[in-house]
Amino acid sequence: MEKLTISINMEKEFEWDKWRLEIPFINFPRNWEIKIIPPFSGAVIRFIVKRKDSTVSNTISVYLDCYDVLGCYNKPYWEIYPYDNDVFRCDMNDVETLIKAIKHALK
């Protein structure tokens, strides 16, 4: 029962119902594999991307931060890592830029 209470509190604190409606759909390229992972460290969503023809070590981490818990963007944003030995951030609704940045990072 304690885990259920924690989950309910997390749902309220991170407004999961609100974000469920506001997070845009993402049309991923067919040659990518997406692994959904738990949203640790303050992210609302986390996933890992790799090309189907690549090794597991060639992966890109993506998360959605809606509250500037992990960075300083002043509005909901996606962050990918690694990206040219750094990170890349873009607005939550700028899915086209997100996809382009992931493609770049996977090369």
Question: Domain map of the chain by residue range?
Answer: 2-106
Higher pLDDT, 17 or 77: 77
The band of 40, judged by pLDDT with boundaries at 50, 70 and 90, is confident
Q: Which pTM does this prediction carry? A: 0.89
CA distance 107 to 92: 23
Two structure tokens written together for 106:
């996977």
Going by C-alpha positions, the residue among 71, 63, 72, 70 that lies closest to residue 92 is 63
User: Which residues are CB-neighbours of 41 under 8 A, at least 6 positions away?
Assistant: 69, 70
- Can you give the pLDDT at residue 56? 65
Going by C-alpha positions, the residue among 75, 51, 81, 50 that lies closest to residue 63 is 81
Higher pLDDT, 58 or 54: 58
